């Protein structure tokens, strides 16, 4: 067992020292030309700049005219070698209104996308207040409405998100069983390698982990690029993923798994784990555990190397704990063998206790990194998912406490005595073992729920980023001449736009969408603004429903400059209602 922990320590230290840093979850900083700009001549290129590093999928920047017809543009690439800026050349364009949609991958592998408009030629667009009967603003009359329509069309297939979530769940579950089961067999029960049930579980987990690692690379391609499931096997899409941090990390995981399976079989059959095989497997297992952090949120923390190392330690400890539970429940305790249970269970109890301590310590650090404040914990989707996960883990610990009590009171006293009494005594101990098996099975069931929540959590914007998202609005406003932000409640995502975000008449658009990006036609939406510096408000924003999940106020007068507070109230049913607020900078 000491070799196992030495090997893990070596690989985790290596990861902590060598992991490359990545910028935090990116958000839009500004565009060139600015959104809503009126230009005398057409631009030669389009620039989209972000608050953090991004990676560029195919079709990252698209341009459409006022009739929603695509305009040919050059291939998107980094602007002057900057990782936080994307550019694309455009052909000569005639006078008119144009909509630009963009899609990139943030450093933590999350896709982000948006749109902006600009006008080429003298004059102004048609009256933005014109509304076609029964259909909301026309494309020509309201370029923002056209931008939103194109943005929704670019949101991707909702089925892709569901399938990708299932792939992540299967990947995490199989990795945990394989890594934790390997540690269990090599350190606690080497004889288990010859047990058919154990071999089947380990072989199945290894095969699923390999398949899910490959599937995850393909799924990231269609998910990040907003493509349909039909493009899953498009090699150009997969090739694009392999150029990203996510693709390289998951490919490394795939290769390490291919090596780890035969090596584990060799170590168990040859009984040479004590002569270096165990340490080598520990190094490979630690490297596999690190791939998730390299591809996801931890790589965006600072210092990134330490964050990735802590995440790897967390996943390794979870694997040793929960993977061991699976073999304990499905193999050791199902054999109703008091001799084996009396030998293995006390050993696993000590190892699991140490693993839980590591999980608690590393999980606390990770939670602080991704949340930072109680407001972020309570008011963000990430925070609420984290609370759910913690509640489920608490349930596992309650059952684990029962199991540990069994170990103390039975395994060290009753089981040895019964085993010594002869074959009949083994039968007498069976009810005790079965009670323990039910408790451990309960732990495994709750652990499955924890993994399901985790599969969603890793693809959710961190709480600190979601809450701080409005903080970056001020910087964007200085360049775009408008206010844009995205809010979240438990039920819906709310996209808010105010143009030109200055004193006087403003055009305000509010869209309600599902968290997957599809339009969500809610029952009712209200908005109010207030300016605490002048004790003004709240003032009702006279919104009208102009389309499914689309509310607007045209030529709404905002009387004073300053940092206004916008409050949006959404009613999704007769009894379900939620609020979201954001600061909104209004310039003179």
Report whether pLDDT(170) > 60.
yes
Structure tokens belonging to residue 67: 């009739």
DSSP 415-444: HHHHHHT-HHHHHHHHHHHHHHHHHHHHHH
Average of per-residue pLDDT across 404-410: 59
pLDDT digits (tens, 9 = 90+) for 179-205: 999 999 988 888 888 899 999 999 999
Radius of gyration of the chain (CA): 28
Q: Does domain 33-124+134-152 have CATH number 3.10.20.90?
A: no
pLDDT at site 313? 92
| CATH fit for domain 482-586, picks 3.40.50.720, 2.60.40.1930, 1.10.357.10, 1.10.40.30 | 2.60.40.1930
> Do residues 467 and 380 make contact, with C-beta atoms less than 8 angstroms apart?
yes
Closest by Cα among 12, 5, 15, 9 to 305: 15
Closest by Cα among 341, 316, 313, 314 to 328: 341
pLDDT at site 151? 63
The residue with tokens 């704990």 is 321
> Using 50, 70 and 90 to split pLDDT, how confident is the model at 123?
very low
Determine the Cα–Cα distance for residues 381 and 64; give it in Å rounded to an integer: 33
CA distances from residue 481 to 64, 102, 183 in whole angstroms, order as listed: 21, 18, 58
Q: Bridge partners of 484?
A: 497
pLDDT at site 436? 72
Report whether pLDDT(139) > 60.
no
pLDDT at site 146? 67
Side-by-side strand order, sheet with 577-586: 536-540, 524-531, 562-571, 577-586
The residue with tokens 């922990």 is 5
The residue with tokens 């696993």 is 348
- The DSSP output letter for 357 is H
Long-range contacts for 87-90 (Cβ within 8 Å, ≥24 apart)?
87/45, 87/46, 87/47, 87/48, 88/45, 88/46, 88/60, 88/61, 89/44, 89/45, 90/42, 90/43, 90/44, 90/45, 90/46, 90/63
Report whether pLDDT(13) > 60.
no
pLDDT at site 152? 63
Determine the Cα–Cα distance for residues 72 and 378; give it in Å rounded to an integer: 45
What does pLDDT average to over the chain? Answer: 77
Determine the Cα–Cα distance for residues 501 and 529; give it in Å rounded to an integer: 13
pLDDT at site 380? 73
Report whether pLDDT(86) > 60.
yes
Rounded to whole angstroms, the maximal C-alpha distance in the chain is: 99
pLDDT digits (tens, 9 = 90+) for 305-359: 888 889 899 999 999 988 998 998 888 887 766 677 778 888 888 888 888 889 8
pLDDT at site 96? 86
Report whether pLDDT(71) > 60.
yes
Average of per-residue pLDDT across 112-120: 80
Structure tokens belonging to residue 2: 């000491």
Determine the Cα–Cα distance for residues 499 and 119; give it in Å rounded to an integer: 15
Structure tokens belonging to residue 517: 């990006």
Q: Identify the weakest region by mean pLDDT among 234-248, 319-333, 479-493.
A: 479-493
pLDDT at site 97? 85
Share of the chain above pLDDT 70, in %: 76
DSSP 502-543: BSEEEEEEEEEE-TTS-B---SEEEEEEEEGGGTEEEEE---
Write out 134-162 in H/E/C secondary structure. CCECCCCCCHHHHHHHHHHHCCCCHHHHH
**DSSP 3-state percent helix, strand, coil across the chain (nearest 5):** 55, 20, 25
Distance of CA 84 to the CA centre of its chain: 20
Average of per-residue pLDDT across 455-475: 57
Closest by Cα among 526, 457, 467, 518 to 492: 518
pLDDT at site 493? 87
Share of the chain above pLDDT 90, in %: 15
């Amino acid at each position: 067992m000491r070799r196992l922990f030495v090997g893990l320590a070596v690989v985790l230290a290596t990861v902590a020292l060598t992991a490359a840093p990545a910028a935090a979850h990116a958000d839009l900083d500004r565009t060139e030309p600015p959104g809503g700009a009126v230009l005398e001549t057409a631009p030669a290129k389009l620039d989209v700049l972000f608050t953090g590093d991004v990676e560029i999928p195919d079709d990252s920047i698209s341009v459409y005219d006022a009739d929603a017809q695509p305009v040919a543009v050059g291939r998107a690439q980094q602007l002057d070698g900057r990782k936080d800026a994307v550019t694309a050349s455009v052909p000569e364009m005639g006078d008119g209104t144009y909509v630009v949609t963009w899609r990139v991958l943030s450093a933590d592998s999350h896709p982000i996308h948006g749109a902006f408009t600009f006008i080429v030629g003298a004059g102004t667009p048609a009256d933005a207040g014109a509304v076609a009967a029964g259909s909301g603003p026309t494309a020509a009359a309201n370029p923002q409405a056209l931008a939103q329509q194109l943005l929704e069309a670019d949101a991707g297939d909702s089925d892709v998100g569901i399938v990708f979530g299932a792939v992540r769940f299967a990947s995490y579950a199989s990795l945990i069983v394989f890594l934790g089961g390997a540690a269990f067999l090599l350190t606690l029960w080497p004889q288990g390698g010859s047990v058919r049930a154990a071999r089947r579980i380990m072989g199945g987990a290894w095969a699923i982990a390999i398949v899910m690692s490959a599937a995850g690379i393909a799924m990231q391609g269609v998910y990040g690029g907003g493509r349909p499931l039909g493009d899953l096997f498009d090699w150009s899409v997969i090739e694009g993923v392999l150029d990203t941090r996510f693709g390289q990390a998951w490919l490394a995981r795939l290769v390490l798994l291919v090596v780890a399976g035969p090596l584990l079989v060799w170590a168990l059959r040859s009984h040479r784990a004590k002569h270096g095989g165990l340490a080598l497997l520990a190094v490979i297992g630690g490297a596999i555990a690190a791939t998730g952090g390299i591809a996801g949120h931890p790589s965006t923390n600072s210092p990134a190397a330490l964050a990735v190392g802590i995440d790897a330690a967390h996943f390794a400890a979870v694997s040793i704990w929960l993977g061991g539970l699976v073999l304990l429940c499905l193999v050791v305790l199902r054999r109703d063998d008091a001799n084996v249970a009396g030998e293995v269970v006390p050993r696993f109890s000590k190892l699991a206790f140490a693993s839980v301590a590591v999980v608690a310590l590393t999980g606390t650090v990770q939670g602080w990194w991704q949340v930072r404040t109680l407001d972020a914990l309570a008011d963000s989707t990430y925070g609420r998912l984290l609370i759910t996960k913690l509640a489920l883990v608490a349930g596992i610990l309650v059952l684990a406490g029962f199991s540990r009590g069994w170990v103390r009171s039975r395994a060290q006293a009753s089981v040895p005595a019964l085993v010594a009494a002869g074959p009949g005594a083994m039968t007498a101990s069976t009810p005790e073992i079965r009670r323990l098996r039910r408790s451990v099975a309960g732990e495994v069931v709750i652990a499955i729920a924890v993994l399901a929540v985790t599969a969603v959590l890793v693809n959710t914007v961190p709480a600190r980023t979601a809450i701080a998202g409005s903080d970056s609005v001020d910087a964007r406003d200085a360049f775009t001449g408008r206010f844009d932000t995205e809010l979240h409640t438990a039920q819906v995502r709310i996209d808010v736009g105010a143009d030109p975000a200055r004193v006087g008449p403003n055009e305000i658009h509010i869209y309600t969408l599902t968290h997957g990006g599809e339009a969500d036609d809610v029952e009712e939406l209200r908005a109010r603004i207030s300016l605490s510096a002048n004790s003004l408000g709240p003032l009702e924003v006279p919104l009208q429903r102009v389309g499914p999940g689309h509310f607007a106020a045209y030529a709404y007068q905002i009387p004073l400059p300053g940092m206004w507070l916008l409050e949006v109230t959404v009613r999704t049913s007769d009894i379900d209602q939620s609020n979201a607020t954001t600061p909104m900078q209004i310039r003179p």
